[in-house]
Amino acid sequence: MSSLRVLGIDPGLTRCGIGIVDVDRSRRASLVHVGVVRTPVDADLSTRLAAVAAGIRAAIDEHRPGAVAVERVFAQHNVQTVMATAQASGVALLIAAEAGLPAATHTPSEVKAAVTGYGSADKRQVQSMIARILRLDAPPQPADAADALAIALCHAWRGGAAAAALGGSLTPAQQAWADAERGARAPSRSPRARVGRTDVRPAR
Q: Which residues are annotated as a binding site for Mg(2+)?
A: 10, 71, 144
Pairing of strands 15-24, 29-38: antiparallel
Cβ contacts of 64 within 8 Å, gap of 6 or more: 5
Contact between 59 and 20 (Cβ < 8 Å): yes
Active site residue 44: no
In the annotated binding site, the residues are 10, 71, 144
Q: Of 22, 6, 37, which is closest to residue 144 (Cα–Cα)?
A: 37
Of 22, 71, 147, 181, catalytic: 71
Contact 50, 58 (CB under 8 A): no
CA distances from 11 to 36, 88, 117 (A): 10, 5, 23
Residues 99, 104, 106, CA angle at the centre, nearest 5°? 145
The one catalytic residue in 22, 24, 61, 144 is: 144
Catalytic residue among 10, 22, 147, 181: 10
- For residues 125 and 116, the answer to whether their CB atoms sit within 8 Å is yes
71 is catalytic: yes
Active site residue 144: yes
Which amino acid makes up residue 42? Answer: D
**Would you please indicate which residues are annotated as catalytic (active-site) residues?**
10, 71, 144
